[in-house]
Chain A
């Protein structure tokens, strides 16, 4: 969004004064689905952590909306418990007191007109009493099928209307539809009520430090850029592995599956950041343009049977625990064809990446929890050593570790000490800092703050969402018409078809 320069800039602010944190202007946050899992585990704790770090404006207000017969005090108790249990920074009474003054609760169903007019009154009261100045963000932490209802109600009750000098924003969670068509419909509904720059689609991966570090690594250094192309890069592997199963989220997961849940959003976004050209600046618009160019140039393999793979975990031993298979999970139909593992090969049709495959994989109940981007380089064109000397030498790689152990690893060959001439792969690691109070904010803290500041560089817009579905739709359609996902034992690195898929290209998956 283009910020209108203020006629009279605040004399206490100075671009040189980089100690001053960016505190959101006067505003409030309304959470729909405040009783839900996401709200209790992530959103409310993140709001508290922001307040604790002094990043929320005085008078910040939080309105909860849910179908409960609660008074403001009951709501306060719920928030209190959520914060106690899940906040990252320590609980401090005075921060709590500051926040708690701004809590309001509105009971009601999404179809309930009375509830929405009460919401309107509540917001107006907050503007008067707490100086929220008409600035409100609506966080839809609810099942996506209710988005249309809520958005329509917001419009109906004038809650989406911006007045001069104030803003209204809406925050939606993934999934942004389940295919191109539904994404377009969803977008049509939302954009009828909110302008594009007022819609914030949360992709919590993009709020992670390391993801932003990809940009620093690529564009602040001279070292990597010259080799960041098809001349030197052999292929790229982007992995997001989870060691957990679907937990209690059967209702959400069945019929969605690994590709829609993770590849469509997180992995394609990571790919775009790794592959894109240098943006002309780091504002939202320039970044988006570059990401879209990549998504637009994605090329699918012609044989989807050979270059994609999917699987479903079956019971087994994972990390020393005996765990159920997917089909035995509660509320999953015995004949479900939903995949819990997906791997795809993509090409990017640009000069930089011609002929370089990007392998994307995601799965549940894999060997361990890890997300990383590995750029694997070609072998040296000539090795002036005997063949035996370099038997243990693989390909150089640069690995961006996104979680849990954030950092960068470089893999290269080195001589084994003491031997005549024996070269093997070694890793060089860098990890910047650990979990210090301020330093590594949760992704949601950053994203919520960015919503309140109106700063969208990290949020995908609807074009990106739609382009991503365009990439995925043919693959999912193909899978829909061709049998079942292949079983793989829980706690392993996925089905055999996935390793076959790389073997066909003469490559192997890294063990991350």
Chain B
């Protein structure tokens, strides 16, 4: 089974984020970047499917030069090849634009399955996987908790709300968005990192892919949410007030 897995590089979780006044994006100098955590689960799932069914795993990433690091991590963990869509302005792309670029690059591959993470830890659109499937004209399922592949078909467990699950079946090829936590991603071992030095990363540009995009949506401004404090006195008898308090803890504070 040949699997393409989309991996994105995002600002490191522990990076101190600075937002210039009125800006639409964070200041990228002086911060570290890392593999988007949800993509780590998709990668792990791809590697496990390959180990079970054979084939190869190709890691695709779009972004500036530094995002090759995300591909290298995938190669160090066991992916066979990497494709880097080199784009210094990729943060200007909306999810549709990103999906167009990714789809154009993935169409050049011979694949049975495309895996994406659930969402990216930076923009958190959660749409790229779905759009990608539409652009590739392939069946798609999201929030995947389990993949059973047999005879060119997939049996998939999806996570619904409130502890409910759903089983669906899809033919291959298909696109899946993997739920975070589905597996325990492996570490890149030191030997894996050494072996990755010899693996190939192909570089493509937006122009080479022949993709032109005009954004359909735009980020106006980003900012840190203002902390507000509100005091509310619950009235009524002790019993009534306690009931109201429980409601609030359940539905507003969501701590119960």
Same complex for A and B? Answer no
- Residues of A with Cβ closer than 8 Å to B? none
